[in-house]
Amino acid sequence: MNNHDIEAVPDSHSIHRRADSDISEDGEIVILTNEDNIRIRKKTDRNILVILTWVYFLQVLDKGVLGTASIFGLQKDAGLVGSQYSLVSSIAPIAQIAWQPFSAWLIVKVPPRILMPSMVLCWGIAAASTAACNSFAGLVTVRFFLGLFEAGCLPLFTILTGQWYRRVEQPLRVSFWNSMNGTATMVASALSYGLGHIPSEVLKPWQIIFLVVGLVTIVSAPVVYWRLDNDITTARFLTEYERRQGVERLRANHTGTASYDFDWSQVVEVVLDPKSWLWIIMALLPNMGSAMTSTFGPLIVQGFGFDAFDTSLLNIPFGAMQTIVILASCWCAYKLKLKSAVIITFMIPVVVGIAILYALPHDVSKNQGPLLLAYYLCAFLFAANPLLLSWVVANTAGAAKTSTTMALYQAGTSAGALAGPLLFTAEQAPSYLPGIRAVLGIFIALIGLVVIQVFNLFWLNKQHSKQRVRNGKSAEVQDNSMTTGFETNGKVQAPTSGEDAAPFVDLTDRKNEDFVYVY
């Protein structure tokens, strides 16, 4: 008897493990209780989720400080005129779109422990280098490389969340790291307020801001390499037996285990799958609309009659609202298990807020308070991205199909981030009404597309049900990946072949008839 052997007791809460010597070559007996499930999930949170959250915070901060820097004289000091500021903001998404085909391949072929810290180091250098720019050409160059190295961040993080967590757990985990959008907004505003007061004859306030955030990112890269693990089967924070339990824990996802083989047939399936293109369009729309608050938000608030320092402070509660909205929306999706309904519900305040911004006269002597309140309602738009991300990864299976889908999703996100700032021009200042009108139409269209996708997923489930009946199975299957507790308290055989091995095989969602699409 070695230390992997624990005596079995008859109650359902026991942890029953077998010795390594009792494991056969063609399979193994794995005992997984709900207590095991919770323990492994908590260990994963403390190790993987913490890294994802911190790195995503850095990514949003490094990209987002452009908006706060703009109110401290960036445009004047760099000699930006006309639409040049919008182009500086849009160049990073252009780089991300161009890089996505290579990004999809890299995510499959390069282990996350190598890929993620490399990305962090490179975009940190690009962010810090922004402090040395004093012209349009210089800013465009560093922002291009910033976008290039950040290109794989969103798809990689979404895929990792899908690989480490059960489908029912994914919305909340996506919300944790995606809520850094709000946290980064608060930190960027607070940093801008504090660093903007530093007297210096050498550096402008906006240069100090870029230098500080870039250096923090650079020193984080080696920490990420030290702490990150590639997948559940090699997790250093789990024991050898817990790794096998972890694989069994994720069986019901039907998304397979991590694979480093790039199956090009899965790429073809992505292209021919209508739901993939609906995901891409849904990724594009909210990210087009978010330019109103991210790139031009500080300028819009400043147009309500506030100075640069007051504008920085007023963006802190807006960032807090972002965080609350993201966490609340994903918690609702976790409880209701209906991401589509939650997306629509949280987009309604966005439509109301934008409509008020457009319809209410921008008379700061009379309407300053209502205009600011309407602007804060726009923070609800940040519920869209984490819910869409968890919705996409929960409805996609196959290593190459998932990486390609997420790369295309990122391309849609980048295209939205590229086109969004172009809806606004300097001539629209200070009210920016034409751009606000366009954003209003964008979020109405998003609600319509969510409804269309729900009908599409319902039809796909019906197709899988008919296929199961043709193959002699029950039409309905229980989707254990969406149960809050772990139901399996008896011993489970983890096979290497046969139909029971399907959850561990690199099958796509369309080819796996037991895959259940979630709404």
Instruction: To the nearest 10°, report the CA torsion of 481, 115, 212, 178.
Output: -20
pLDDT above 90 (res 490): no
Higher local confidence (pLDDT), 258 or 273? 273
CATH number assigned to the domain covering 32-253: 1.20.1250.20
| Six-digit token string for 335 | 């409880």
pLDDT above 80 (res 402): yes
Identity (one letter) of the amino acid at 190?
A
Range of 68-72, 83-87, 371-375, 406-410 with top mean pLDDT: 371-375
| Six-digit token string for 74 | 């960036």
pLDDT above 80 (res 57): yes
Q: Are 136 and 88 in contact (CB under 8 A)?
A: yes
Give 263-292 pLDDT, tens digit per residue: 888 999 999 999 999 999 999 999 999 888
Local confidence band at 248 (pLDDT 50, 70, 90 cut-offs)? confident
Q: Are 228 and 489 in contact (CB under 8 A)?
A: no
Local confidence band at 258 (pLDDT 50, 70, 90 cut-offs)? low
What is the predicted pLDDT for the residue at 53? 95
The per-residue b/e assignment along 425-443, b for 16 or more CB within 10 angstroms, e otherwise, is beebeebbeebbebbbebb
Give 340-358 pLDDT, tens digit per residue: 999 999 999 999 999 999 9
What is the predicted pLDDT for the residue at 484? 60
Mean pLDDT of 116-144: 93
Mean pLDDT of 75-91: 83
Per the listing, tokens 């849009």 go with 90
Query: Can you tell me the distance from the alpha carbon of 484 to that of 335, in angstroms, rounded to the nearest whole number?
Result: 9
The strand pairing partners of 6, in sequence order, are: 17
* 2-16, 339-353, 461-475, 494-508: the lowest-pLDDT one: 2-16
> How far, in Å, are 49, 82, 218, 299, 496 from residue 85 at the CA level?
35, 8, 26, 12, 56
* % the chain with pLDDT above 70: 87
Neighbours of 449 (CB within 10 A): 16
Indicate the DSSP class of residue 48.
I
The per-residue b/e assignment along 306-329, b for 16 or more CB within 10 angstroms, e otherwise, is bebeebbebbbebbbbbbebbbbb
Helix 433-470 × helix 274-289 angle, to 10°: 160
Higher local confidence (pLDDT), 234 or 24? 234
What is the predicted pLDDT for the residue at 481? 57
Higher local confidence (pLDDT), 117 or 9? 117
* 211-225, 299-313, 335-349: the lowest-pLDDT one: 299-313
Local confidence band at 21 (pLDDT 50, 70, 90 cut-offs)? very low
Mean pLDDT of 497-517: 69
Indicate the DSSP class of residue 232.
G
Residue 465: name the closest of 517, 391, 500 by CA: 517
Local confidence band at 329 (pLDDT 50, 70, 90 cut-offs)? very high
pTM of the model: 0.72
- Give, in degrees to the nearest 5, the angle at Cα 246 between 242 and 252: 155
pLDDT mean across residues, the chain: 83
pLDDT above 80 (res 502): no
Could you tell me the residue ranges of all domains in the chain?
32-253, 263-472
Local confidence band at 411 (pLDDT 50, 70, 90 cut-offs)? confident
Local confidence band at 17 (pLDDT 50, 70, 90 cut-offs)? very low
Look at residue 28 and give its three-state secondary structure: strand
CATH of 263-472, one of 1.10.3720.10, 1.20.120.50, 1.20.1250.20, 2.30.30.30: 1.20.1250.20
Residue 92: name the closest of 116, 121, 51, 60 by CA: 60
The strand pairing partners of 84, in sequence order, are: none
Given this chain, do its domains 32-253 and 263-472 carry the same CATH topology? yes
Residue 159: name the closest of 408, 330, 336 by CA: 408
